[in-house]
Structure 1
């Protein structure tokens, strides 16, 4: 019976090498995302997401949208996904531009699809890479938030989406770290960004005359107190079920 030869020590990977390979396999998508975000920052891509840029290039953009139809819609969704995924400031301008190009309903649907897809990609990426590593280490710091998000995830996320008191990217990441279900996350994102999305798309649909105005337009001008109060009221309504359940417990 032939004797099996002992394994060659030069061909046997040490345990730390195996662990390193597993870590690289888990974190390479996050590294790619971080590199893309750094590139976007170095290239100053947000300079294209301004009303001044929209005013300067509106004729070319309108011609492209009219000439390419469905392809232009898909390109707009892809750009929106990239902006949200890379956390580039300017999603509001993109929503207004989508309304300007495709009308209120078409622009709102483009923005809704792009924002939801971009936010969900970040959520899934964070859950698959950072989630397993930080779940135990971050639990002492996220304990109370984790408890609230697990029991009333939809209401909390809906309120955060309706009234953007936290940066969009934080609302994308924290639910991934505390184990919010994907279905709940996506549904709360869609419903939560719907009112503001239609509002800014409607502004964009009537933007032609405003772009010709010497005063111009900026995002702050559109966020009037009445609009902020309305969004705040919707966010408060989203938290009513949480308050009701808390009262019943006590």
Structure 2
């Protein structure tokens, strides 16, 4: 086997994790659909509560494993899973369990992308010039702010926030820390909603998932976004003064 053939084979091996990730995600989106739904949670709530009371540690393990898999393969049901954490375990440790599991799942996507083509793409961006180089430099100079912003802003798709940092050579430890801390506000909101699901189900209602866009919730999150963006703003102002 010549050198070129070995490189081609190695490239295919590196892409395998990403191929599996996207394949399982596509299959899950088609086959699972709305399986993880409020209706399912409502109908199985007594069974879940009884199992939790009898096997608390096992319930924690299964919950975190399921949640990690949902995030890692971008399967439908992440919001319901977060609510379930609050329903089963309360606001605390429910938010800690869901945030930890989401971080592990996001890290799986990050590592798969980094292993597949993140390093090579980052090197190409470093070697490029013009606008590509300027964008890469901007991200490098403001990594903490950018990482927190994509986590805090509710409109940024979670999968995009998981994948992009791997393609611009963000360090793993920085990615993990910013992911864990950045998703706490949103996770806390939905976990608190989940903690009150018992009463909601008893009244035959559906939880309000748009609660995160209500002023008393959204404004503090936007405030955190402002704090995350502040270093970039200060740097831009200083740069303007220098000019």
TM-score, length basis structure 1: 0.86
Q: Aligned runs of 1:218-233 on 2, under 5 Å?
A: 218-221=208-211, 223-233=213-223
- Structure 2 distance, partners of 1:241, 1:161, is 16
For the pair 1:56 / 2:46, whether they are aligned, the reply is no
For the pair 1:193 / 2:176, whether they are aligned, the reply is no
Deviation at 1:220?
Answer: 2.6
**SS, match of residue 34 in structure 2:** helix
Q: Aligned runs of 1:83-122 on 2, under 5 Å?
A: 83-122=70-109
**SS, match of residue 217 in structure 1:** coil
Deviation at 1:231?
Answer: 1.3
Residues 26-58 of structure 1, C-alpha deviations (whole Å, 9 max, x = no match): 1111222222213212322x4132222211111
Structure 2 CA distance for partners of 1:115 and 1:47, relative to 1, 3 Å? same
Structure 2 CA distance for partners of 1:225 and 1:170, relative to 1, 3 Å? same
The aligned length equals 237
- Structure 2 distance, partners of 1:63, 1:70, is 13
- Structure 2 distance, partners of 1:226, 1:145, is 34
Equivalent residue in structure 1 for 2:168, among 167, 175, 178: 178
Q: Aligned runs of 1:1-250 on 2, under 5 Å?
A: 13-44=1-32, 46-135=33-122, 142-221=132-211, 223-250=213-240
- Structure 1 distance, partners of 2:155, 2:132, is 18
- Structure 2 distance, partners of 1:119, 1:143, is 26
Higher-Rg member (1/2): 1
Q: Is 1:155–1:239's contact at 8 Å kept on the other side of the alignment?
A: yes
Q: Is 2:121–2:168's contact at 8 Å kept on the other side of the alignment?
A: no
Q: Is 1:51–1:218's contact at 8 Å kept on the other side of the alignment?
A: no
Which stretch of structure 1 is more off in the superposition, 126-135 or 140-149? 140-149
- Structure 2 distance, partners of 1:168, 1:199, is 16
- Structure 2 distance, partners of 1:125, 1:30, is 6
**SS, match of residue 74 in structure 2:** coil
- Structure 1 distance, partners of 2:132, 2:193, is 38
Q: Is 1:162–1:195's contact at 8 Å kept on the other side of the alignment?
A: yes
- Structure 2 distance, partners of 1:183, 1:20, is 30
Q: Is 2:189–2:212's contact at 8 Å kept on the other side of the alignment?
A: no
Structure 2 CA distance for partners of 1:229 and 1:62, relative to 1, 3 Å? same
**SS, match of residue 47 in structure 1:** coil
Long gaps (5+) in structure 2: none
